[in-house]
Structure formats: structure tokens, C-alpha cells
């Protein structure tokens, strides 16, 4: 009996009907059309109020999980908070905001910090056709990539405040509101603000880019990780990292690192210290303050041992949450690094190679295709199967001594409106090498199992592999 769902048609060969959900034609989240709603508001001289994400407690904390007095909250438009509201003031920067006190969404804000380095992606997430100026109607929209489709999310600009102050993400420039509006749009996608409490850095990185995500454990990197990070930075990949969990949430260690916390990786650089090269990593705390105080921190005496040019380029004494660490301290004090980009070209040391992408949709269905793991030998073969051909490298690419790489990502689609109620199942897949030979006896296949992996990502180098594991960041 043949295995089920082999060679199921990939999505990039689907019909025209399925091609909605692109950046040029995003799906309308909750069936709200930004252009039509905005036009109606302008025609009727009214400001938009979103009935799908209303300015009340149901949009903040429907299950009352946050330590927040909902009765104190007033929803105010930016014009009621400041005299001259602006969406963006002097460009978008990682220093524009800091995390609020009531919501543990550092995983989201660490990803926002990474997003600010990639203007073209930021312009996709936050379309330019909106402001508080001409034809202002109290309505804004943002775009996110969700499970293979781009969606357009409409919001009103009423923001939750206490005593006239924003209670979630805070803008360091009082009249700049892109961080708060972006956070509100993402909260709407998650179901509520409270549904953003605790999560995966990779979630937001993928939702901002629709790209490729890999995660490396820092205590046992199997490659020259700093060089890979350097290549990723040069391709403007989005990078974030997380610290080890502690016994209690957000415990600040004597060295300044916050346990169970997400950070943005904002740069890598090599300096010369007393004639020896030192590899550095720059990290940003989304709190907007609180920094590493060890070697190569802002006030470290090691900066006096490098050239004035390098010191001027790198060192900052501002208490803005950003700091440098040596690669050795980075791998020792942090747990993993997440890298997300539109193409995984940075994985190869040669720029002569390019990647192609194929996406397959499938499901595990009880009684038919839910065969369990390899331990279930009688039913394992019934699991969905997909055959991928790895083409031989062309001469130019092969000259760079790059192996044939395949990056496989398994994603679970959320079916619940509220993110915190989603059940994250333990899913996985097996990878086999299939050698196909044509001979006089017909087609023969030699199957060799390489390994069995758990959720979420892996990179396979034929004929060897390394596992890339995803990790939760709490706050």
C-alpha cells in the first residue's frame, strides 16, 4: 500500500483563487476593508471606532489575567494625550520606545527592535499611506504575515491610558505613536492585549517578515556562529536572543542580565584590543534601560585599550538598554539566538548560491493520517509525506564549496481567535534520504532515515544535519 499524501501539490502551484494573502493583495482581517472604512469616515466626518476590537476591557484583558485595575483605564485618541500627535518623528528607531509595566511582551518588542533595522520590511508592516495630518479619520492599518498569508489589520487610534499616560508600550518621544499603534494592531490579531503576555520571539519575527527563521542554542553551537551572525547582519536579517530562565520571572542578575527575558541583537563588530581581535555582539533590552555591566559594557575599562576610531564608533554611555558583550560572554550568559530573514543566504559562506522555496499544506487527521511517532511502527507510515528534490549545485555555486542545504520548517496553524487559548501540540517530522535509480527491474528506492525531530525547526545538511530548536521567552 503506498503512503498517503505523497507529492501533494505545493501551495506555490495552487490556483489563482488561492493567491490572495500576498503583500499586494492581503486578506482583510475580520473582513474589515481599510480603504472603505476610511472613506466612509471622511465622507460622514466621523472618526473611526472599531467594533471588532472595541475600546473597552474586552480588548485588554477579557480573562482578567493581568494585574491591572480595568476601571481606571480611559481610551484616548493621541490628540487627547498630546497637542501635536505624529505617527513617526524623525524616522523609526529602536530607541523610540520602551516596554510598559503591565504587559510581559518583551518577545514582541525585541522583535520590533530588530524590525527597525529593515526599512523595506517596516514599510510593509506599517504602510505609508496614513498619518495624523490630511484626511485624518482616527483609523490606521498594519500588515502581518500569518501562517503563509499576509493580512491587513484595521484599528482605531483609541489607546488605553491611566491618568493620561499610555499603560503598555511607551514612546520616549511623547508625541510619537507608531509603537503604540503597532502594538495595538498586533494585540488585535492575538485577541487582546493580555493574549500577548509571554511568547516566542520567533512568532513576531515571522509575522513581520514571512521569512525564514532559524534558532541556535548558544551553549553548543556547531558552527562559527559569530561569522554567521556577521553575515546575517550584513544582509539585514532580524536577530533576537533570550536569556536563561530563572526561579522567578524577570530576576535581574548581578551582571545586569534579566533572566527569562528577550533581547534584540542590534549588531556585531570586531575590535582590536592590545593587538588581538575581539568579536563583539551588541544587544538591546526592550525595557529601554537595564544593561550588562561586565566586560565591554558601557563603562568597561576595556574600551580604553582599543583605538579611538573604534571606541567612537561603538561605545555609548547612554542608559538606553543597549550594550556590547564579547562573543564568549554572549554565549555564556544568553541561551539562544533567533535569526529571521527573507532568504537564508547567510547560512552559506558564498554569495554565489541562491535558495528556492516550496510550501506544502497538510494535516494529521484521527484514524487516517495521524500515525504517531516512529515508535508506532504499525501506523507511522500513514503520516502525511512530502517528497522534496534537492537539485545538484551548478558549477558557479559549487565552486564556493557550499554544501547542498535544505531548511525545513514545520508550522502549526492557530485555530483559536485568542492566542493564549491555542493548544501548541508536540509535532515533528522525520527526514529520509531517497536514492532513486532507474534500471532494468524498474524504479527502486533506497530509504535511509536520518533522524527524528521535534517541534519547531531544523536545518539538514546532506548528508549530515543539525537541529534548530525554538525556545519560549517569558517577558
Residue-level pLDDT at 364: 87
Residue-level pLDDT at 404: 64
Whether residue 173 sits in one domain with residue 24: yes
Mean pLDDT of 67-92: 95
Whether residue 261 sits in one domain with residue 189: no
Longest dimension (CA), the chain: 82
Q: Which residues are catalytic?
A: 106, 261, 285
The pLDDT > 70 percentage for the chain reads 83
Query: Does a structural domain hold residue 204?
Result: no
Find cell 503512503 and name the residue: 3
Whether residue 127 sits in one domain with residue 74: yes
Which of 2-6, 52-56, 331-335, 366-370 is predicted with the least confidence, judged by mean pLDDT?
A: 2-6
Whether residue 230 sits in one domain with residue 117: no
Residue-level pLDDT at 383: 86
d(CA 187, CA 258): 24
Query: Does a structural domain hold residue 1?
Result: no
Identify the band that residue 18 occupies on the pLDDT scale cut at 50, 70 and 90.
low
Identify the band that residue 323 occupies on the pLDDT scale cut at 50, 70 and 90.
very high
Q: What angle, 0 to 180 degrees and rounded to 10, lies between the N-to-C axes of helices 178-190 and 106-115?
A: 130
Q: Provide the 10 A C-beta neighbour count for residue 182.
A: 26
Q: What is the pLDDT of residues 224-252, one digit of tens each?
A: 899 999 999 988 899 999 999 998 878 99
Whether residue 328 sits in one domain with residue 433: no
When divided into structural domains, the chain yields a total of 3
Residue-level pLDDT at 400: 57
Contact between residue 33 and residue 141 where contact means Cβ atoms under 8 Å apart: no
Q: What is the pLDDT of residues 165-191, one digit of tens each?
A: 999 999 999 999 999 999 999 999 999
Residue-level pLDDT at 471: 32
Q: What is the DSSP string of 40-82?
A: HHHHHT-----SSS-SSGGGT-TT--SS--GGG-EEE-HHHH-
Mean pLDDT of 367-387: 85
Whether residue 270 sits in one domain with residue 300: yes
Find cell 573604534 and name the residue: 310
Domain CATH code at residue 377: 2.60.120
Residue-level pLDDT at 388: 79
Looking at residue 335, the DSSP 8-state letter turns out to be E
d(CA 427, CA 383): 12
d(CA 266, CA 122): 16
pLDDT at 103 over 50: yes
Name the domain boundary from 160, 175, 198.
Answer: 198
Looking at residue 31, the DSSP 8-state letter turns out to be G
Whether residue 436 sits in one domain with residue 369: yes
pLDDT at 366 over 90: no
d(CA 279, CA 227): 9
Q: What is the pLDDT of residues 435-451, one digit of tens each?
A: 665 443 333 344 444 33
Name the domain boundary from 166, 198, 230.
Answer: 198
Query: Does a structural domain hold residue 205?
Result: no
pLDDT at 385 over 90: no
- First-to-last CA distance in the chain? 49
Query: Does a structural domain hold residue 251?
Result: yes
Burial (0-12, 13-18, 19+ Cβ within 10 Å), 305: middle
Name the domain boundary from 307, 338, 369.
Answer: 338
pLDDT averaged over the chain?
A: 84
Whether residue 76 sits in one domain with residue 151: yes
pLDDT at 417 over 80: yes
What are the angstrom distances between the C-alpha of 444 and each of 4, 141, 434, 437? 19, 54, 10, 6
> Between 4 and 71, where is the model more confident?
71
> Between 342 and 292, where is the model more confident?
292
Mean pLDDT of 412-435: 81
Identify the band that residue 398 occupies on the pLDDT scale cut at 50, 70 and 90.
low
d(CA 110, CA 113): 5
Q: What is the pTM of this model?
A: 0.86
Whether residue 259 sits in one domain with residue 116: no
Whether residue 143 sits in one domain with residue 114: yes
Most confident of 1-10, 15-24, 112-121, 454-463: 112-121
pLDDT at 394 over 90: no
Looking at residue 92, the DSSP 8-state letter turns out to be -
**Rg (alpha carbons) of the chain, rounded to whole number:** 24
Query: Does a structural domain hold residue 3?
Result: no
pLDDT at 434 over 90: no
> Between 206 and 437, where is the model more confident?
206
Contact between residue 246 and residue 270 where contact means Cβ atoms under 8 Å apart: no
> Between 429 and 276, where is the model more confident?
276
**Angle at Cα 303 formed by Cα 300 and Cα 308, nearest 5°?**
155
d(CA 142, CA 151): 8
Domain span at residue 70? Answer: 19-198
Query: Does a structural domain hold residue 9?
Result: no
104: left (phi over 0), alpha (psi -120 to 50) or beta: beta
> Grid coordinates in use for 385?
509525506
Whether residue 158 sits in one domain with residue 231: no
Q: What is the DSSP string of 120-169?
A: HHHHHHS-SS--SSTT--SEEEEEEEETTEEEEEEEE--EEEETTEESSS
pLDDT at 332 over 80: yes
The pLDDT > 90 percentage for the chain reads 60
Query: Does a structural domain hold residue 7?
Result: no
Whether residue 58 sits in one domain with residue 147: yes
Query: Does a structural domain hold residue 345?
Result: no
Amino acid at each position: 500500500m503506498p503512503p498517503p499524501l505523497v507529492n501533494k501539490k505545493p501551495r506555490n502551484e495552487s490556483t489563482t483563487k488561492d493567491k490572495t494573502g500576498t503583500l499586494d493583495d492581503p486578506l482583510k482581517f475580520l473582513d474589515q476593508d481599510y480603504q472603505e472604512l476610511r472613506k466612509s469616515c471622511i465622507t460622514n466626518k466621523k472618526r473611526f471606532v472599531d467594533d471588532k476590537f472595541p475600546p473597552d476591557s474586552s480588548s485588554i484583558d477579557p480573562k482578567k489575567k493581568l494585574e491591572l485595575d480595568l476601571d481606571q483605564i480611559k481610551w484616548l485618541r493621541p490628540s487627547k494625550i498630546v497637542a501635536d500627535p505624529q505617527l513617526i518623528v524623525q524616522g523609526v528607531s529602536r530607541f523610540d520606545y520602551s516596554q510598559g509595566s503591565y504587559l510581559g511582551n518583551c518577545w514582541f518588542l525585541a522583535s520590533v527592535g530588530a524590525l527597525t533595522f529593515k526599512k523595506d520590511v517596516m514599510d510593509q508592516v506599517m504602510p505609508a499611506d496614513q498619518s495624523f495630518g490630511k484626511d485624518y479619520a482616527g483609523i490606521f492599518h498594519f500588515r502581518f504575515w500569518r501562517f503563509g498569508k499576509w493580512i491587513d489589520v484595521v484599528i482605531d487610534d483609541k489607546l488605553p491610558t491611566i491618568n493620561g499616560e499610555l499603560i503598555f508600550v511607551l514612546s520616549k518621544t511623547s508625541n510619537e505613536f507608531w509603537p503604540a499603534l503597532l502594538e495595538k494592531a498586533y494585540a488585535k490579531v492575538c485577541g487582546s492585549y493580555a493574549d500577548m503576555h509571554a511568547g516566542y520571539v520567533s512568532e513576531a519575527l515571522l509575522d513581520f517578515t514571512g521569512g525564514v527563521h532559524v534558532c541556535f542554542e548558544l551553549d553548543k553551537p556547531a558552527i562559527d556562529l559569530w561569522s554567521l551572525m556577521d553575515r546575517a547582519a550584513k544582509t539585514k536579517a532580524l536577530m533576537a536572543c533570550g536569556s536563561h530562565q530563572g526561579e522567578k520571572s524577570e530576576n535581574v542578575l548581578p551582571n545586569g542580565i534579566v533572566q527569562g527575558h528577550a533581547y534584540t541583537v542590534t549588531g556585531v563588530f570586531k575590535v582590536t584590543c592590545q593587538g588581538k581581535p575581539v568579536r563583539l555582539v551588541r544587544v538591546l533590552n526592550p525595557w529601554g534601560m537595564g544593561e550588562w555591566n561586565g566586560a565591554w559594557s558601557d563603562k568597561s575599562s576595556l574600551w580604553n585599550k582599543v583605538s579611538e576610531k573604534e571606541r567612537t564608533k561603538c561605545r555609548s554611555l547612554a542608559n538606553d538598554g543597549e550594550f556590547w558583550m564579547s562573543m564568549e560572554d554572549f554565549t555564556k550568559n544568553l541561551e539562544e539566538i533567533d535569526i529571521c530573514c527573507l532568504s537564508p543566504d547567510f547560512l552559506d559562506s558564498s554569495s554565489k548560491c541562491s535558495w528556492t522555496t516550496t510550501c506544502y499544506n497538510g494535516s494529521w487527521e484521527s484514524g487516517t493520517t495521524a500515525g504517531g511517532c516512529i515508535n508506532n511502527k504499525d501506523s507511522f507510515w500513514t503520516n502525511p509525506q512530502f517528497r522534496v528534490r534537492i537539485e545538484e549545485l551548478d558549477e558557479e555555486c559549487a565552486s564556493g564549496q557550499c554544501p547542498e542545504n535544505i531548511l525545513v520548517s514545520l508550522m502549526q496553524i492557530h485555530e483559536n481567535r485568542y492566542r493564549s487559548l491555542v493548544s501548541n501540540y508536540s509535532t515533528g517530522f522525520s527526514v529520509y534520504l531517497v536514492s532513486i535509480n532507474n534500471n532494468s527491474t524498474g524504479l527502486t528506492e533506497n530509504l535511509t532515515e536520518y533522524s527524528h525531530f521535534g517541534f519547531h525547526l531544523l536545518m539538514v545538511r546532506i548528508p549530515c544535519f543539525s537541529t534548530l530548536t525554538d525556545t519560549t521567552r517569558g517577558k
